[in-house]
Amino acid sequence: MIQSQSSPAGHRRAGGAALLPPAAVASAARSAAVHSGTAERERRLHDETVGLLTRAGFARHFVPRAWGGSEGTFGALLDAASAVGAGCASAAWCGALWAAHGRFAAYLPPDGQRDLWAASPDTRITAVMAPSGEATPTPDGWLLSGSWAYASGVAFADWLLLTSTDPAELGGGCRVFALPREQAEIVDTWRADGMRGTGSHTVVVDSVAIPRHRSFLLADLTAGTPAPGRARCHTVPAQLGGGLLFCAPALGAARHALEAWSRWAARHAPALPEAEVLRLHRVLALSADEIEAAQLLLRDAAQRADAETWAERDVARNRRIAASVIGLLARGVERLHRAGARSGAAGPDVVERCRRDVRTVASHRMLRREQAAVDYARSVFSELSEVSALSEISALSDIPGVSDMPDGSAVPAVPAAPDLSELAGVPDVSELPVPVSPLAALEAPHAEII
């Protein structure tokens, strides 16, 4: 069990009402719903929606209190993002990522944090964590060049966090570099089937000077390394809290699809044969079961991410839950979509849009079921092996003469965790195949970080 470092004086976590006020979140959700069609056509959020997301506190949610931020919780962000996701999954995705990227930027040295937040804690940050480009060391820092794909919400970002390999780091370690968005070029490349409003285009940087105080090691963020000034929410390992934030927009979209489909089915049921009506009843019950189960699982994962202590098994468990949840949501919405098509009366258009959005989220590398299963099984088997070995050693210590054996051969070694790498290629048994989308291209080792 690992105890996170406590926040220093003046860095207590914000309480209840200060975290993403429900009225402000509701206003952002209404705007997102009103402008969802425009966001999908133009492949960017509406200006009004961006402003309301910012005023609701998404960008400042994990910002250190020293800079006026909230140092918020994963649970509060899950609820707020899923509420916005019911209006527009793309808006919820950008809001959740702006929040998460504020948490990432808390790993910058104090001078770097000042550059981002001295004027306001509502700085919107877009991050690309898949390493790319080239960072050339200089006496004062680095020269950064290259291109980074899938920069969600970049059109409205104030700052960027871009990851690249640092040749000065042992073993080719990666660093994250902060730079103002105006120092990068945005290339229009986002052509996904779903989540079109995220505007996840490519950013290109050409020999931009990055001072030392605007960089940190990616390994520290991945592990949730404690340090002075980092609150509890900042020292959460990336995979303990990341997956549930990916799922939050999909949860909102699935709940919206269920509500819209239910209204549609209620209107059409009286004109359908009894057998068809019974089929609609079953579809509604099964999809509601899956979507509500997904919500309960995500709230459980959020409580674990917000807990004062965590173990390695908690990280693997939350990753497993996120992969399972996206499968539940995708199957639930897919069933609603197919039932509408089969009935002979076209289902509501919103179900089709939600279906595309959920399937696009499901294609993300971090939510792949196979690797999540392997990681979880390894953590479970490792713990069980250690417990079994300790039990055997304890039992042997009670046998007369065992402690006198010169070579200690009677004391069994702790068995190693089984190698499950051969299972990495086993396909998901889900009944719903997830299509390839641009998000599926995130194959870099650290792409699973938001």
Choose among 224, 73, 205: nearest CA to 128: 205
Q: Kindly tell me if the per-residue pLDDT of 410 is higher than 60.
A: no
Q: Fill in the DSSP letter of residue 4.
A: P
Which tens digit of pLDDT belongs to each residue from 344-364? 454 578 899 999 999 999 999
CA 198 to chain centre: 15
Q: What Å distances lie between residue 73 and 4, 79, 104, 180, 395, CA to CA?
A: 14, 10, 14, 27, 44
What's residue 216's pLDDT? 97
Q: How confident is the model at residue 343 (pLDDT cuts 50, 70, 90)?
A: low
The residue-averaged pLDDT of 411-440 equals: 40
**d(C-alpha 417, C-alpha 395), whole Å:** 22
The residue-averaged pLDDT of 46-72 equals: 97
End-to-end CA distance of the chain: 25
Q: Tokens for 445?
A: 């080792």
* Cβ burial, residue 445 (10 Å; 0-12/13-18/19+): exposed
Q: How confident is the model at residue 103 (pLDDT cuts 50, 70, 90)?
A: very high
The residue-averaged pLDDT of 116-139 equals: 96
Q: What Å distances lie between residue 311 and 9, 31, 237, CA to CA?
A: 26, 40, 10
The whole-model pTM stands at 0.83
**d(C-alpha 131, C-alpha 109), whole Å:** 21
**d(C-alpha 116, C-alpha 107), whole Å:** 12
Crossing angle for the helix pair 74-85 and 89-105, to the nearest 10 degrees: 160
3-state DSSP assignment of residue 16:
helix
Q: Fill in the DSSP letter of residue 154.
A: G
What's residue 341's pLDDT? 66
What's residue 395's pLDDT? 56
The residue-averaged pLDDT of 215-230 equals: 94
Q: Kindly tell me if the per-residue pLDDT of 339 is higher than 70.
A: yes
* Higher-confidence position of 370 and 187: 187
The residue-averaged pLDDT of 231-249 equals: 95
Give Cβ neighbours of residue 8 (< 8 Å, ≥ 6 apart): 228, 229
Contact (CB, 8 A) for 85 and 252: yes
**d(C-alpha 239, C-alpha 243), whole Å:** 6
Contact (CB, 8 A) for 365 and 448: yes
**d(C-alpha 148, C-alpha 144), whole Å:** 12
Q: How confident is the model at residue 165 (pLDDT cuts 50, 70, 90)?
A: very high
- 3-state secondary structure labels for all residues of 343-374: CCCCCCHHHHHHHHHHHHHHCCHHHCHHHHHH
**d(C-alpha 52, C-alpha 260), whole Å:** 25
Which tens digit of pLDDT belongs to each residue from 387-399? 666 565 555 555 5
DSSP H helical ranges for 190-311: 218-223, 238-268, 274-306
**d(C-alpha 369, C-alpha 304), whole Å:** 20
Contact (CB, 8 A) for 187 and 202: yes
What's residue 383's pLDDT? 82
Which residues on adjacent β-strands are paired with residue 162?
A: 128, 177
What's residue 416's pLDDT? 46
**Cα-flanking dihedrals φ and ψ of residue 410, to 5°?**
-80, -10
Strand order in the sheet with 125-128: 125-128, 159-165, 174-180, 215-217
Q: Kindly tell me if the per-residue pLDDT of 435 is higher than 60.
A: no
Q: Fill in the DSSP letter of residue 15.
A: P
3-state DSSP assignment of residue 218:
helix
Give Cβ neighbours of residue 259 (< 8 Å, ≥ 6 apart): 86
Q: Kindly tell me if the per-residue pLDDT of 411 is higher than 50.
A: no
What's residue 444's pLDDT? 37
Q: Kindly tell me if the per-residue pLDDT of 265 is higher than 70.
A: yes
How does strand 174-180 pair with strand 215-217? Answer: antiparallel
How high is the mean pLDDT of the chain?
A: 84
What's residue 302's pLDDT? 97
What's residue 271's pLDDT? 85
The residue-averaged pLDDT of 28-32 equals: 98
Contact (CB, 8 A) for 100 and 60: no
Q: Kindly tell me if the per-residue pLDDT of 87 is higher than 90.
A: yes
Scanning the structure block, which residue is given the tokens 């300790």? 390
Q: Determine the longest span between alpha carbons in the chain, in angstroms.
A: 86
**d(C-alpha 159, C-alpha 349), whole Å:** 36
**d(C-alpha 176, C-alpha 160), whole Å:** 10
Contact (CB, 8 A) for 249 and 45: no
**d(C-alpha 379, C-alpha 315), whole Å:** 9
**d(C-alpha 244, C-alpha 133), whole Å:** 29
Q: How confident is the model at residue 382 (pLDDT cuts 50, 70, 90)?
A: confident
The length of the chain in residues reads 450
The residue-averaged pLDDT of 44-73 equals: 97
Q: How confident is the model at residue 18 (pLDDT cuts 50, 70, 90)?
A: low
* Higher-confidence position of 335 and 429: 335
**d(C-alpha 402, C-alpha 408), whole Å:** 8
What's residue 16's pLDDT? 35
